[in-house]
Amino acid sequence: MSSILHQKVVLVLNRNWQAINTRTPAEAFCQMASDVATGLDIQGTDWMVPTKWEDWLKLPVREEDASIGTAQGLIRVPTVIVVSNFAKVPMKRPKFNSRNLWERDGGRCQYTGRTLRPGEGNIDHVIPRSRGGATCWENCVLAATDVNSRKADRTPEEAGLTLRKQPFAPREMPVTALLKNTHDIDDWEPFLM
């Protein structure tokens, strides 16, 4: 089997054609075969035709298409599917990681207010981990590397530092805003923000 079968290269739309998730081709084929979703036969921005599983199996595999080999021949991998009985756009909080923390804190040291360049800052635990502080939105801030080293395993008060603002978890956002086209699939562009 092809390695593409287990990569998240299929964009999932709700019945209002709003992006809500990504799936592997294996998951997309299961949803299409069980009539939970329809594939979109996309040929540029002017041609997007919802296509049921039985008809999808008959579509020719074009040169630019990814495909999966089966006993009956090649099957085109859909780039976008539409789930037929789901209209909501799920809400999701951004994942806690250094890139999203950088974005939340605006690239500024939360103790000095200085704008940091990439590599000049790192994650500081307001309540140090050695004292039971959690690695979470509410306990972590972006700090200049030298400030974080000076603070070490002390609280801001013990280190003589003052937080510019209390750390917080970012608000939940429509999942559409968090989906990224990491595979550079042109067919996804009309559906992503």
Is the pLDDT assigned to residue 180 strictly greater than 90? no
Instruction: Calculate mean pLDDT across residues 87-111.
Output: 93
Q: What's the pLDDT at 1?
A: 43
d(C-alpha 191, C-alpha 185), whole Å = 11
Residue 39: per-residue pLDDT: 96
Contact criterion met (CB below 8 Å) for 31 and 81: yes
Domains and CATH numbers, the chain: 3-91+174-191 (no CATH), 98-151 (1.10.30.50)
**Strand partners for 23:** 10
What's the token pair of residue 96?
Answer: 């806690």
- Tokens 């500081």 belong to which residue? 124
Contact 120, 50 (CB under 8 A): no
Confidence of residue 61 (pLDDT cuts 50, 70, 90): very high
What tens digit of pLDDT does each residue of 127-161 get?
A: 999 999 999 999 999 999 999 999 999 999 999 99
Per-residue pLDDT, 44: 78
CB neighbours of residue 66 within 10 Å: 19
